[in-house]
Amino acid sequence: MAEILTHTHKTLRKTKPRLLLVEGDTNTVLAASLAALRTNTPIAHVEAGLRSHDPRMPEEHNRRLVDHISTLLFAPTQTAANNLKSEDTQGTTHVTGNTVIDACLKHTRTRTQQAATSEHPRFQNYILATAHRAENVDNPQTLKEIAEALLESPLPIVLPLHPRTKKRLKELGLHQGLEESKNQVQLLPPLGYHPFLQLMKNSRLILTDSGGIQEEATAPTIRKRVLVMRNSTERPEAVEAGFARVVGTTKQGILQGIDKALDDNTPLPTASPYGDGKAGERITTVLQTTLKED
């Protein structure tokens, strides 16, 4: 983060932009925003107002800090906007939807049919799983619980492995068991965006600790149930709409969640709570208006 801050600071001093646009809650976003603060560069934050209310998550601190130093706050939902209001943030808030949905709609309609990967799912009916968060994969007991749940799942699992997760699984002696369970778990290398969208679209159910996937699953072109392997989520709208369910990180909780989801025949909403695919247009309009006024 220090390196990002230092180099971004130099770039901002050299280029003197009228605005810095950042999206999300990563360390990169926070470091770049702090550099902008030091150079008096206004900040516009896309995905503002997301809150898990879980202080163990580094991202929770990142997004809170960025929101409180931003001039423009692009909230994906009214719930996110309400979070910003309750914290008395000083920037101007605009509810725009999320660009994640823009991307999903565009690329599932135009590219997923051509998406190719050297590793195809060998199961017709499968659960797509991902795990990468530090609080999950860096905790030996938690990672063990997740691995055991995957091995005991009532449906086969397709698991693209994040490098960090693969390393931790090997360190704990869990990787071999997953790799050898050919009829239960298929391990895949990290995938590009289009192949992964195709896996989501063709899956029966999604099991993940990712925040972005919780949103992508609500896109009208995907519409999948998501089980969140965490104890909290900054995407409560997906839960309220019926797309997502927080199941925790224990084997029992995950397996019970899978069983309930597979038995749930309630139709999913046809619209996403995260927008209609025009978030980018709304954000651009606000930016153009703001820059004209300056």
Cβ contacts of 105 within 8 Å, gap of 6 or more:
219, 220, 221, 277
The active-site residue out of 68, 94, 107, 132 is 132
Total residues belonging to the chain = 294
If phi > 0 it is left, if psi is from -120 to 50 it is alpha, else beta; for residue 15 that is alpha
- Using CA atoms, how far apart are residues 200 and 206, in angstroms rounded to an integer? 7
Inter-CA distances, 167 with 131, 178, 190, Å:
12, 13, 13
Q: Is 132 a residue of the active site?
A: yes
Residue 156 half-sphere exposure toward CB, CA atoms < 13 A: 16
Tokens representing 103 are 């991307």
* Residues carrying an active site annotation: 132
